[in-house]
Amino acid sequence: MKLYLLIFTFLFFMQSIFSQAKIENDIESALINAKKGVYWALANIPLKKARLDQSIINEDKLIAKVKIEKEINGVRIESTGYNETNEVTVVIYRSKDSLLKDGFIKKYDIESFDNDK
């Protein structure tokens, strides 16, 4: 009887460990997809629009939904990454100066960047 109880306890804990590892992998995959959305947004900051919403789809699967909004002296990027039924949202703020320094916008684009908020 003690042997059955020991085996049952061992199997219960092993199942719990495997379940936690799967959840961790699912969250990590959704986070990676959210990061892909952030990278896409940084490469595609609109100069003439105050806001942009975009869905990123690969092989008929929704990877991320990205929202870019111009703020005073910068942009706000919200990217929601998906993996199966899991979703992770990442929000970042980048100043106009850091966007210029990192090469995401050019000096000659600053005037049009500022005009359409």
Query: For the chain, how many structural domains are there in total?
Result: 1
Q: Report the pLDDT value the prediction gives residue 14, as an integer from 0 to 100.
A: 61
Q: Report the pLDDT value the prediction gives residue 21, as an integer from 0 to 100.
A: 72
Amino acid at residue number 69: E
Task: Report the percent of the chain where pLDDT is more than 70.
Answer: 74
Mean pLDDT over residues 21-26, rounded?
A: 83
3-state secondary structure of 86: strand
Structural domain harbouring 81: 2-115
Q: Give the position of tokens 């979703």.
A: 87
Q: Report the pLDDT value the prediction gives residue 22, as an integer from 0 to 100.
A: 80
Q: Report the pLDDT value the prediction gives residue 108, as an integer from 0 to 100.
A: 61
Task: Report the percent of the chain where pLDDT is more than 90.
Answer: 45
Q: Report the pLDDT value the prediction gives residue 105, as an integer from 0 to 100.
A: 80
